[in-house]
Amino acid sequence: MRRKAENRVDVNSYSPLVLAYLGDAVFELVIRTRTVREGNRQVNRIHHETVHYVKAETQAKLARHLEPLLTKEERDVLRHGRNAHSHTMAKHAAMIDYRMATGFEALLGSLWLSDRRDRIAELVSEALDWLEREEGAPASPAPPHASSAAFSEGSGTPGGRETRSPAGRLWDSAGQKPVIPEERNSGR
């Protein structure tokens, strides 16, 4: 097994579009996990809820909200992703939204490759909380049967306990940090 130091990645050596490719998968997984944890439902309903968050228009809104909260390095990654010239475009998105969404995905891909799962969780949580406030009531609240006890076993968080926010995202036992899917099973 390799040591973590040997796995260090220079994210600057990757094309912004490659980072966006990875970031697209990261965001999709976070959103799908969040949506599925809200309760067992028809897959079609889960899919429609997920699409609302992962479409370019919504990702562009999230990126614009987060931009002032980013570090200089993170803003640079967002800008490089936004300015990257892709030969494709989403079918139902304005070019400006598509490019901003690409920047958002590049940022998430960069953070993922840098093993900054904590920062991904922080940014995504802030962005989704803001979006839900902007849209009114939470888009999909946690079902009443969801309790923290259902998520306490082997969570990998300090104290082994997690709780749910009103919007259904998991939080560590101190209620300080959102837990993203990869962290739950890695034992970090």
Q: Where are the beta strands (DSSP E) in 39-100?
A: none
Taking the model in full, what pTM does it have?
0.70
Q: With pLDDT > 90 as the criterion, what percentage of the chain qualifies?
A: 56
Burial class of 133 by CB neighbour count within 10 A (0 to 12, 13 to 18, 19+)? exposed
What's the pLDDT at 142? 38
pLDDT beyond 50 at 140: no
Out of 24, 115, 129, 172, which one is annotated catalytic?
24
What is the crossing angle of helices 95-113 and 56-66, to 10°?
70
pLDDT of amino acid 156 = 36
Comparing C-alpha atoms, which of 141, 137, 112 is closest to residue 124?
A: 112
Q: How confident is the model at residue 88 (pLDDT cuts 50, 70, 90)?
A: confident
Question: pLDDT tens across 23-45, in order?
Answer: 999 999 999 999 999 999 999 99
Q: Are 55 and 92 in contact (CB under 8 A)?
A: yes
Domains of the chain: 12-140 (1.10.1520.10)
Q: Which of 121, 135, 118 is nearest to 52 (CA)?
A: 135
CB 82 within 8 A of CB 99: yes
pLDDT at 111: 97
Tell me the per-residue pLDDT of 144-156, one tens digit each, with 9 for 90 and over.
333 222 222 333 3
| Three-state SS at 178 | strand
Q: What is the pLDDT of residues 94-120, one digit of tens each?
A: 889 999 999 999 999 999 999 999 999
24 is catalytic: yes
Task: Check residue 12 and give its pLDDT.
Answer: 87
Average pLDDT rounded to a whole number, residues 85-90: 73
Is 167's pLDDT higher than 60?
A: no
Query: What percent of the chain shows pLDDT beyond 70?
Result: 67
18 SS3 class: helix
Look over the chain and give the mean of its residue pLDDT values, rounded to a whole number.
Answer: 77
Q: Where are the beta strands (DSSP E) in the chain?
A: 162-164, 170-172
- Between the alpha carbon of residue 102 and those of residues 32, 49, 114, the distances in Å are 19, 21, 18
How distant, in Å, are the alpha carbons of 12, 55, 67, 174 from that of 76? 10, 22, 10, 32
Beta bridge partners of residue 163, listed in sequence order: 171
